[in-house]
C-alpha cells in the first residue's frame, strides 16, 4: 500500500484569538506525533511574531521541518463585507507553496489591514478579490472555504453565508477546488449539494489548542510523496485517500437552537416552530443540518461517483471519559490514554487498528473496549450540538431517552 499521510492543515498559533497560550512549534510536533498525524499546517503564517518562529525552520519541497516533522504553509483569514444587500462573514484557509509566496501574500494582506492583532486577521474585501489577488501572486496558492456550514462564518452558513460558490466567487468559482466540512457536517451531507459533486470534500480541525481531543480530530489522508506539489494535486484533483470526521452531531452547530435558552431541536421541529425559539421568542440560530436540507438538490443517501471514504470517529479522550464517568482532562482519563499510547504508539492506531483482544488484555475494561469498537464503525450516538455548544456522546443505556 502507498504511504499514507494523515494531515491536519487548519490550525492556529497562540497569536490567534481564543487559543492556548502554550501553542508553540515543539508542542505541536509532540502532540501531532501522539495523535498519529504526519503533516500539520503552520497556522497564521502572516502574523509577525509567529512568522519569526516559522522562519527559523528548514524548508524543503515547499514544506517546513521541525525535528523531522513537516509543516505546510497555511493561514486563515476572515472576510467581512456586504454583497447583495446582506452582510457576509466568511473564513478561508489559504495554503501556500513556499516562503517566497508567503511573503507576497503577507505583503498584500498587510496593505489591507493590521496583521499583528490576531492570527486570523479580518479584512473588508470580498471573496472575489481574495481569489483575484491570490491568483496574481501564484497559481499554486489554494483557497479552501473553512468550516463551510458554520452559521456565522461558513461560506454556506445560515446567518452570513452564500447559497453557492458561484454566488460568492462569481467567475472565479472555478478556483475553488474543495471545501472543508467542519465538525457539524460530514461528506454524506455535502454530497447532497450538486455544486460540490465535482469538488474535493476535505476535513481539518481548526484547532485552538494542541490537546489530543482537538488536534487531528478531523483530518485528510493523503498518499505518496511528502511535497507541497503532491498535496496540492490531490486536493485539486480529488485524488486523496479519504478523510477523518467526527460525528457531525458532535459539532457545535449541527442542530438549531439557542445556547442561552438551553433549547435545541431538529430541523423538523424548527419548521413547526417557524424557526422561533419557544423560550425567548426570538429567531433560532439555524444549524448545519437544517441549512444542508435547505440547499440540497440530491436526496439523502446520494453518493457521487468520485466520493472518498471517510472514518467517522470521536477522539479517544471522549471515549475514555464516557466509559469512566470522568472529564476530558482529568488525571483518570489521561492515565488510561497514556497507557494506550504507550502500547499502540499513537491515537489513530488505537482508534482504527488496535486488536480487540489486545485492548481487552491491556485495559481490563469491557465498557471502554466496546466503545472503541463501536466508535470504529460510527456506532456511538451523540446528542447534537447547537449554537456554539458541543454535542455530547452518550452511552447506549442513555440514548434510549434521547432518540
Would you list the DSSP string of 133-181?
Answer: HHHHH-TT-EEEESSTT-TTTSTT-TTT--S-HHHHHGGGGGG--EEE-
Q: What's the mean pLDDT when you consider all of the chain?
A: 96
Give the pLDDT score at 341.
98
Q: ∠203-177-185 over CA atoms, to 5°? A: 30
Give the pLDDT score at 400.
45
What is the DSSP track for 25-54?
HHHHHHHHHHHT-SEEE---TTSHHHHHHH
Residue 130 has pLDDT above 80, yes or no: yes
Give the pLDDT score at 1.
63
Give the pLDDT score at 344.
98
The mean pLDDT value for 92-109 works out to 98
Q: What percent of the chain has pLDDT over 70?
A: 98
Q: For 276-308, write each residue's pLDDT tens digit.
A: 999 999 999 999 999 999 999 999 999 999 999
> Could you tell me if 90 and 168 are in contact, meaning their C-beta atoms sit under 8 angstroms apart?
yes
For residues 42 and 368, give the distance between their C-alpha atoms in angstroms, rounded to a whole number.
34
- The domain segmentation of the chain, as residue ranges, is 4-249, 315-379
Q: Which CATH topology does 4-249 take? A: TIM Barrel (3.20.20)
Backbone angles phi, psi at 200, to 5 degrees: -80, 135
The mean pLDDT value for 24-28 works out to 98
Least Cα distance to 80 among 30, 125, 121 occurs for 125
> Could you tell me if 367 and 245 are in contact, meaning their C-beta atoms sit under 8 angstroms apart?
no
SS3 of 219, please? Answer: strand
Other CB atoms closer than 10 Å to residue 294's CB: what's the count?
12
Give the pLDDT score at 397.
56
> Could you tell me if 213 and 317 are in contact, meaning their C-beta atoms sit under 8 angstroms apart?
yes
Q: For 140-167, write each residue's pLDDT tens digit.
A: 999 999 999 999 999 999 999 999 999 9
Q: Which helix (H) or strand (E) holds 80?
A: strand 74-83
For residues 114 and 101, give the distance between their C-alpha atoms in angstroms, rounded to a whole number.
19
Give the pLDDT score at 2.
78
Give the pLDDT score at 396.
79
Residue 24 has pLDDT above 60, yes or no: yes
Residue 399 has pLDDT above 60, yes or no: no
Which grid coordinates belong to 106? 503577507
Q: With a threshold of 0.85, does the pTM exceed it?
A: yes
Residue 318 has pLDDT above 60, yes or no: yes
Amino acid at each position: 500500500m502507498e504511504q499514507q499521510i494523515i494531515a491536519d492543515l487548519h490550525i492556529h498559533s497562540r497569536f490567534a484569538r481564543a487559543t492556548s497560550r502554550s501553542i508553540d512549534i515543539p508542542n505541536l510536533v509532540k502532540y501531532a506525533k501522539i495523535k498519529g498525524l504526519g503533516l500539520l499546517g503552520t497556522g497564521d503564517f502572516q502574523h509577525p511574531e509567529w512568522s519569526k518562529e516559522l522562519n527559523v525552520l528548514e524548508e524543503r519541497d515547499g514544506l517546513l521541518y521541525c525535528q523531522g516533522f513537516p509543516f505546510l504553509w497555511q493561514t486563515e483569514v476572515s472576510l467581512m463585507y456586504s454583497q447583495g444587500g446582506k452582510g457576509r462573514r466568511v473564513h478561508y484557509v489559504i495554503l501556500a507553496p513556499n516562503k517566497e509566496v508567503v511573503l507576497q501574500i503577507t505583503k498584500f494582506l498587510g496593505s489591507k489591514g493590521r496583521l499583528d492583532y490576531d492570527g486570523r486577521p479580518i479584512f473588508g474585501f470580498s471573496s472575489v478579490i481574495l481569489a483575484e489577488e491570490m491568483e496574481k501572486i501564484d497559481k499554486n496558492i489554494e483557497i479552501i472555504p473553512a468550516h463551510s456550514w458554520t452559521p456565522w462564518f461558513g461560506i454556506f452558513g445560515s446567518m452570513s453565508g452564500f447559497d453557492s460558490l458561484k454566488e460568492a466567487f462569481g467567475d472565479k468559482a472555478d478556483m475553488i477546488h474543495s471545501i472543508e466540512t467542519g465538525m457539524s457536517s460530514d461528506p454524506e451531507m455535502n454530497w447532497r449539494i450538486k455544486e460540490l459533486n465535482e469538488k474535493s470534500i476535505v476535513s481539518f480541525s481548526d484547532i485552538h489548542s494542541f490537546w489530543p481531543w482537538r488536534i487531528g480530530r478531523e483530518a485528510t489522508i493523503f498518499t505518496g510523496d511528502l511535497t507541497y506539489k503532491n498535496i496540492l494535486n490531490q486536493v485539486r484533483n480529488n485524488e486523496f485517500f479519504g478523510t477523518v470526521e467526527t460525528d457531525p452531531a458532535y459539532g457545535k452547530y449541527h442542530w438549531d437552537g439557542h445556547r442561552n435558552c438551553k433549547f435545541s431541536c431538529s430541523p423538523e421541529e424548527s419548521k413547526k416552530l417557524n424557526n422561533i425559539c419557544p423560550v425567548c421568542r426570538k429567531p433560532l440560530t439555524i444549524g448545519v443540518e437544517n441549512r444542508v436540507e435547505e440547499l440540497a438538490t440530491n436526496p439523502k443517501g446520494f453518493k457521487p461517483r468520485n466520493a472518498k471514504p471517510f472514518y467517522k470517529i470521536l477522539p479517544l479522550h471522549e471515549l475514555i471519559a464516557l466509559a469512566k464517568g470522568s472529564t476530558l482532562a482529568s488525571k483518570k482519563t489521561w492515565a488510561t490514554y497514556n497507557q494506550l499510547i504507550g502500547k499502540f504508539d499513537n491515537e489513530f492506531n488505537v482508534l482504527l487498528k488496535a486488536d480487540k483482544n489486545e485492548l481487552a488484555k491491556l485495559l481490563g475494561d469491557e465498557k471502554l473496549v466496546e466503545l472503541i469498537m463501536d466508535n470504529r464503525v460510527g456506532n456511538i450516538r451523540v446528542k447534537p450540538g447547537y449554537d456554539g455548544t458541543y454535542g455530547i456522546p452518550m452511552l447506549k443505556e442513555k440514548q434510549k431517552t434521547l432518540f
